[in-house]
Amino acid sequence: MSISVAVTGATGYVGGELLRMLLAHPEVEIGALTAGSSAGSRLGDHHAHLVPLADREVLETTTENLAGHDVVFLALPHGTSAPVAAELGDDVLVIDCGADFRLQSSDDWSRFYGGDHAGTWPYGLPELPGQRERLAGTRRVAGPGCFPTVSTLAIMPALPLVDDSALTIVAPTAPSGAGKKLATTFLGSEVLGQASAYGVGGTHRHTPEIEQNLRAAGAENPVVSFTPVLVPMSRGILAVVSAPAAEGVTAADVRAAYVAAYADEPFVHLLPEGQWPQTQGTLGANTVHVQATLDERAGRVVAIGAMDNLAKGTAGGAIQSMNLALGLPETTGLTTIGVAP
């Protein structure tokens, strides 16, 4: 089986990570590579690490250039994906790495993004209950935001054990989450050697997406206070999630819930008791490392997830969804092996 794949936004961070991972996929043949203003350049001018593709020309993102592929990944800025997707046939598997089709509520879309809501596609987080079935055979996938993936997987098993109306998430994150254009405008002197919170006070646009996921995972009335924190690293997120424990919950209950939930998940790695997730172990891998416990004194469950925002957080997760949509084994071409030190 050879699946022809086009990547739009190929010169960006997500496009580059998609191509790095697709090069390792045994069933994939890499077709058109497209972008915006950099059309006409060589891919190697943008991604020196993608040696096998260095001399490939970057094409314009047009319907003609995307025609004839089995799969089209959209790694474009918010609002750019919907018009491109509208021109692609229903038989083509289209996977959007941006936000255009993630939210179910048009009110949430208006409040956090503004403008018209393009619609809702099957959501590319296979670990949510029933989601593998929804992704099987689909020809449209909305790839999740990076904070929603790691936060959801960190706290999901504990939801029956906590008050889900009082969740807090504080998540140190890498500037690469902002994309190449923005990340290269951060001054080194402003990012190196400091940490800075942003999107404070319930304003970050991933807040409704996280709550949507927690509802899908069984939470009745999830209310999340989410604060991302920019820190000096090239990739990675460490999501620290906590919520009041329900009456009578013990540390053993918390551990048992995580063991049961993740025993068979290929890409969620529950660490041995007492070992806490670090971003480094996830770099370049399609994994989330998870640990949780009970803070008995404060009466809260504390759960931590580490993830590479570009790997499982975007490109790897998108390829995992591609595998499911096409009926391939879910793990095909995806690694759980990170990079260290």
Ligand X SMILES: NC(=O)C1=CN([C@@H]2O[C@H](COP(=O)(O)OP(=O)(O)OC[C@H]3O[C@@H](n4cnc5c(N)ncnc54)[C@H](OP(=O)(O)O)[C@@H]3O)[C@@H](O)[C@H]2O)C=CC1
Ordered alpha helix ranges (H), 114-250: 131-135, 146-155, 179-183, 188-191, 207-216
Tokens 């021109």 correspond to 87
Site string for ligand X, 32-51 (x = CB under 6 A): ---xxxx-------------
What's the closest the beta carbon of residue 204 comes to ligand X2W, in angstroms? 6
- Binding of residue 249 to ligand X2W (CB under 6 A): no
**Active-site annotation holds for 97:** no
What's the closest the beta carbon of residue 113 comes to ligand X2W, in angstroms? 9
- Return the structure tokens found at 175: 């500037």
196-197 sheet: strands from edge to edge:
196-197, 224-230, 167-173, 237-244, 300-307, 288-295, 268-270
Label the pairing between strands 59-60 and 196-197: unpaired
Residue pair 291/270 in contact by the 8 Å Cβ criterion: yes
Subset of 106-145 contacting ligand X (CB under 6 A)? 145
- Binding of residue 9 to ligand X2W (CB under 6 A): no
Nearest to 126 by CA among 281, 322, 341: 322
Residue pair 112/208 in contact by the 8 Å Cβ criterion: yes
Residue 175 contacts which entry, ligand X, ligand X2W, none (Cβ below 5-8 A, type-dependent)? ligand X2W
What's the closest the beta carbon of residue 173 comes to ligand X2W, in angstroms? 5
Size of the site for ligand X (CB under 6 A): 30
Catalytic residue among 14, 30, 33, 146: 146
Label the pairing between strands 237-244 and 167-173: antiparallel
Q: Whose CB is nearest to ligand X? A: 12
Considering only 107-115, 172-180, 215-223, 291-299, which stretch makes contact with ligand X2W by CB under 6 A?
Answer: 172-180
What's the closest the beta carbon of residue 125 comes to ligand X2W, in angstroms? 13
Q: Which residues bind ligand X (CB under 6 A)?
A: 9-15, 35-38, 61, 75-78, 80, 97-98, 145-146, 176-177, 179-181, 309-310, 313-314
